Amino acid sequence: MRIALLVYDGMTALDAVGPYDSLSRLPEADIVTASPDGGPATCGGGIVIQAAAALADVDAADVLIVPGGMASALRAMLGDGAVMDWLRRIDQTSRYTCSVCTGALLLASAGVLRNRTAATHWRAHDALTALGATPATDRVHVDGKYLTSGGVTAGIDMGLALCGLLVGRELGEAIELSMHYAPQPPFGTGDPATALTPARRKLIEERLRN
Amino acid sequence: MRIALLVYDGMTALDAVGPYDSLSRLPEADIVTASPDGGPATCGGGIVIQAAAALADVDAADVLIVPGGMASALRAMLGDGAVMDWLRRIDQTSRYTCSVCTGALLLASAGVLRNRTAATHWRAHDALTALGATPATDRVHVDGKYLTSGGVTAGIDMGLALCGLLVGRELGEAIELSMHYAPQPPFGTGDPATALTPARRKLIEERLRN
């Protein structure tokens, strides 16, 4: 089972490594990290993931995973015809096409989410609508073969759900246990439906890396 | 604020990238990824994180983060005197010394957890005891300046708790929201206290990458 994981400059590292962790525990998985030119991806905040391949070297995959990233990085990717062509090409024969966070904007821009419903980061709902898809508010959203997930950490939930689809519930349960995924968020403010206040939005937009 | 993040071959990528995500959103953070020789760290499953520095280039840090990894990788690190020396040196002047998953075994082996209580992966409790520390069953454990966390994903909770300690609750809450950290584990089997059965342990030991 071949899994293609897109990596690129300005990507959010956790968007990629979140689903990577569960999928890489599968005995059957062959995961290839692919960047536009095969070079290293300098992620948001500066951490560097070295790709194993260039997009041109990956012709097909059973599973495609598209992480999100910073606004400037997304603009660069949306404007790169070779990247958009690659997403369409891999999607054509994939068994599952998946995104984390604003990775849904890349899939939508490539045209593969047209008339579909998709999850994305809560700040990107308008941008997703403008690209022809309907934002979903669930954390992991399944529409046909498209598994999309909300902001950053939602990719962990998506990866585990995907493991369940790929190899069955029994192994999925064991992977969740091996990852000790029994989260206790320290602040309880992770859900925009209950925690998004004007003050917090201002803090996020003005003081934090986005 | 300088944060030193140890990376090494055989490390679990999510152990490092989990806390990295929240900490890297802090406007004040200067995070340096450091590997034993400054070269790339090929993590469990094959994903590669390129270090920004060698251990010898990092003399001090406000925060030290030590991720866990595969058993063979831990054995190599435990037997590397230069790594053990570096952990002791950075710990000597750190404000916080932190570990994720089996990273606690590295700290314990370096001697900095002597007579302390620490969290680690549920499979590593006996190994931690053998190294002179007392295993804690909480997901994130605070003992003085030592913040240790349970298996893999517990590092995300630890990173957020650390953000709160470093910059205050208000910004910590905003970071948790920007990460959309309102988890919905698909299987509900992440907690060893309730989900660890002989059958699941066998699956994990025999069929999954560890």
Q: What is the pLDDT of residue A210?
A: 73
State the pTM of this model: 0.97
pLDDT score for B209: 82
User: Domain residues of chain A, as ranges?
Assistant: 2-185
On chain A, the residues whose CB falls within 8 A of the CB of B207 are: 27, 171, 174
| Nearest-Cα residue of chain B relative to residue A158 | B186
pLDDT at res. A19: 98
Q: Which residue of B has its CA nearest to A170?
A: B200
**CB atoms < 10 A from the CB of B47, how many?**
25
Query: B153 and A181 in contact by Cβ < 8 A?
Result: yes
Residue in B2, B21, B42, B147 to test binding to A, most A beta-carbons within 10 Å: B21
| CATH architecture observed for domain B2-185 | 3-Layer(aba) Sandwich (3.40)
0.90 surpassed by complex ipTM: yes
Q: With a CB-CB cutoff of 8 Å, which residues 181-210 of chain B face chain A? A: 181-192, 195-196, 200, 203-204, 207-210
Interchain CB distance below 8 Å, B48 and A47: no
Q: CA-nearest residue of chain B to A120?
A: B180
Task: Return the pLDDT at A88.
Answer: 98
The three-class DSSP label of residue B40 is: strand
CA A142 to chain B, closest CA, distance in angstroms equals 13
Would you state the pLDDT for residue B210?
A: 74
pLDDT in 10s for each residue of chain A, 210 residues? 999 999 999 999 999 999 999 999 998 899 999 999 999 999 999 999 999 999 999 999 999 999 999 999 999 999 999 999 999 999 999 999 999 999 999 999 999 999 999 999 999 999 999 999 999 999 999 999 999 999 999 999 999 999 999 999 999 999 999 999 999 999 999 999 999 999 999 999 999 987
Give me the pLDDT at residue A109, please. 98
Across the interface, whether the CB atoms of B180 and A209 are under 8 A apart is answered no
